[in-house]
Chains A and B, each alone.
Chain A
Amino acid sequence: MAGPYESPARTGVLVGILAISMFFAALTSALVIRQGGAADWVRFQLPSILFVNTLVLIVSSGTLELGRRRLGRDVASPSGRALLYATLGLGLVFLAGQIMAWRDLVAQGLYLATGPSSAFFYLFTVLHALHVVGGLIALAYVSVRVARGAGPSPLNAVAAAAMYWHFMLALWVYLLLVLWMRV
């Protein structure tokens, strides 16, 4: 049980990942049943900016992983810290991109209640974005702890936040695939 890097933060994130996975699995099953059960499902073109956003999120995962490794070697590493800030910035860019995607849908006249396909699109993207906001808050918190440099080592917290952030990427890729296939 007790691995050498075990910490409550890591366990907490793993457990959180399980809960969030179940949350989106339930929504996916709802989508599949809702689509299969009625003839009112209208497909539409996904906003192309989603693919740019995906790229941004992939890069942010990379910067965070790189930052985490540098901080692991030297907790005071300035480049490690800079990479954390870069991840925060890229996270914000991702959210801005998602807002543009919603505006794109609105411009097409597709609102939450327009039809089930647009409803699930908004649901998936908004709920994912809320979880990303949670990740940004966690990253901001660990960035402050790293910047302060005092108190207990922030490395466990950085590792936990990084695990969550990578999961946000994996979750997004999954949701995008579901939307791409179904919407």
Chain B
Amino acid sequence: MADEVKGGADYPRETAQMVTALKHVPPQSFLRKHVFSLDHKVIGKQYLDLGLLAVTTGMVLSWIMRYHLAWPNGKLFWLGGGGIITPEYYLQLMTMHGTIMVFFVLTTAPFAGFGNFVLPLQVGAEDMAFPRFNMMSFWVTFVAFLVLVAAFFVPEGPALSGWTAYAPLSAVGSAAGPGQGMGQTLWAISIAIFCVGQLLGSLNFIATTLDLRTKGMTLARLPFVTWAWFITSVIGLIAFSVLLPACILLVLDRVAGTSFFIPGGLVISDAMQPHSGGSPLLWQHLFWFFGHPEVYIAILPGFGIISTIIPVFARKPLLGPKVLISCLVAIAFLSYTVWGHHMFLSGMNPLSATIFSVPTLIITIPATIVTLLWLGTIYGSKIRFTTSMLFCLGFVSVFISGGISGFFLAQPSIDSVLHATYFVVAHFHFVMGVAAMFGIFAGTYFWFPKMYGRMMNETLGKWHFALTFLGVYAIFMPMHYLGLAGNVRRYAAFTDDYMVSFQPVHKFITIAALFTGAVQLLFFINLYWSRRHGPVATDNPWEATSLEWSTSSPPPFDNFGGTHIVVHHGPDLYGVAGAKGDYVMQASAEPEPAPAFALKK
């Protein structure tokens, strides 16, 4: 039986699936069905809903910051305290914006959200390998979010030390000023809890991909996005395992009187701090050893999402599939060798800076190859311009725009000039923030029919894309010029120095940010309206090949209606001459087509 299909599941693997199936009886109660569900599809949606809540929160915080940057004397009375935004409050908004966006949006939505919903379907499993851990993973992450936002409601408010929480500012306690009391402690505890949630998630992704693949689903036949989630989970497993002890040390410095990160002889407000011998740089090393791979945790799922979607709408197999996967693995490996490039300004030995600079430049090679593979795939194809595909093309555009500035920043001599300016703000927002968001949008428009059994409105979607695309360029492109002109970042206002002359540009950016934010209402309306009123989706509305499109929309509780789906082909059979339609589904029993793909001309 096992030898009939190449790479077929052997007996123990099938046993493992049957065990999962035995445990996997549909729940009846509301709580087990919708709240504490073990079903990966529900958990995936919960993660996406959490991401939506978080991104809305983070976006509103950015609007307040942008408003203040454009009109420093303006008052927002609904904020309380006379509506005045103090420099400290601005930094608190900045810290919370960064933390919420990086951890609770860019990590949860593309990786935990879509990954949870789609990965078990794409490997042909009935659920994740450890459904209970999976449920814990979500609820632990949710608690982490609550702990983080609780900081808004404690005396002196949330932390102001940035999403990177540099010590000693983050470690010395309330002596360091507003927000550095309970708010910063909550920050460190929240991130530690978040790490636990993501470790449980990564564990599940790895075990599911390795052990629960259905018959015929060899590693080579995994869809690219599942490869990307698998590689991301390996990165996450290592990165969060390092951030967790770092956060524990930070909490101990703050509440237990230890001195891991606080140096001796530190005087704050004329008071000598009761600490000795700690190393602030130790925090930076531990944080960035996590922090740089985190960039790839945010963006690799996006790579996978668009590498999966582009062939669907270009009706053409992806150029160089093995090269793509090799590049993803290379990026994952290299991501652990470059963390020092965030620390060029920390007083690091120039030789060390060069050592970190070289792999930073090298990592651009696989990233560039991947981009060329996407462009090569699109080249000469008859593109179906769905909203999802438009966001994929937008992804490629913003990834290139943001990636190119990375070439400059990788060099210590240039970075020391630009590091503290808006040039860096523009760079990471494009390459990590906006690109990852475009990946999330592409994924949402693509998998929505599978999630809810209904189609999203394409007209609204295309407006959403066009206006968002223009909006993000209007926001972030001018920031490059501001940075080159010496506009420092992290300042609450530019009122009485050489940066006053930049004020009109800041006003333009703020108007663009508010406009782009308002445009997202189109997305929200589409998302909620289509759940109930969108046209009913067929099983495979996009004529795609991977396994999730071989089951109903939405899939039944056990994913494939009690059958063990069998895989016969790779994921990329598009533009196949002689096939029914122009594609061959992975689960189709049709004979493997000849290797030459005859494109329709």
Contact = CB atoms under 8 A, between A and B. Distances in A.
Of A8, A34, A113, the most chain B CB neighbours within 10 A belong to A8
B282 interface: yes
Interface in B212-259: 212, 219, 237-238, 240-242, 244-246, 248-249, 252, 256-259
A34 B278 contact: yes
A163 to B, nearest CB: 14
Nearest to A119: B258
B413 interface: no
B277 A38 contact: yes
Given A12-B207, A33-B285, A2 B10 contact: yes
A114 to B, nearest CB: 9
B130 interface: yes
Of A19, A41, A112, A152, the most chain B CB neighbours within 10 A belong to A19
Contacts of B19: 152
Contact of A26 (B130, B210, B242, B281): B242
Interface in B1-54: 9-10, 12-13, 15-16, 19-20, 22
Chain A's interface size range is 35 or more
A19 B199 contact: yes
Contact of A2 (B9, B129, B244): B9
A19 B244 CA distance: 11
Interface in A1-42: 1-2, 4-8, 11-12, 15-16, 18-20, 22-27, 29-30, 33-34, 37-41
B397 interface: no
Contacts of B257: 112-113
Nearest to A16: B203
A33 B284 CA distance: 12
Contact of A15 (B9, B237, B248, B289): B237
A11 B13 CA distance: 12
Contacts of B9: 2
Interface string B196-212: 00010011001110111
A8 B16 contact: yes
A159 B17 CA distance: 18
Interface residues of B, number: 48
B264 interface: yes
Given A2-B9, A113-B258, A116-B259, A8 B246 contact: no
Nearest to A11: B207
Contacts of B258: 112-113, 116, 119
A133 to B, nearest CB: 15
A27 B19 CA distance: 38
Contacts of B129: 8, 11-12
Contacts of A113: 256-259
A34 B219 CA distance: 43
A46 to B, nearest CB: 19
Contact of B279 (A18, A19, A37): A37
Interface in A36-90: 37-41
Contact of B207 (A5, A15, A22, A25): A15
Nearest to B279: A37
Contacts of A6: 12-13, 16, 210-211
A23 B245 contact: yes
Kindly list the 5 A-B residue pairs having the minimum CB-CB distance in the complex, ordered from nearest. A38-B277, A113-B257, A22-B241, A8-B129, A40-B277
Interface of B: 9-10, 12-13, 15-16, 19-20, 22, 129-130, 199, 202-203, 206-208, 210-212, 219, 237-238, 240-242, 244-246, 248-249, 252, 256-260, 263-264, 276-279, 281-282, 285-286, 289
Given A4-B12, A29-B285, A38-B263, 18 more contacts: A6-B13, A7-B211, A8-B130, A12-B203, A15-B203, A16-B203, A19-B199, A19-B237, A23-B241, A23-B244, A23-B245, A26-B246, A30-B245, A30-B246, A38-B278, A39-B277, A41-B277, A123-B249
26 contacts: A4-B10, A6-B16, A8-B207, A8-B208, A11-B129, A18-B238, A19-B202, A19-B238, A22-B242, A23-B242, A26-B242, A26-B286, A27-B245, A30-B260, A34-B278, A34-B282, A37-B282, A38-B278, A40-B264, A116-B258, A116-B260, A116-B277, A123-B248, A127-B248, A152-B19, A152-B22
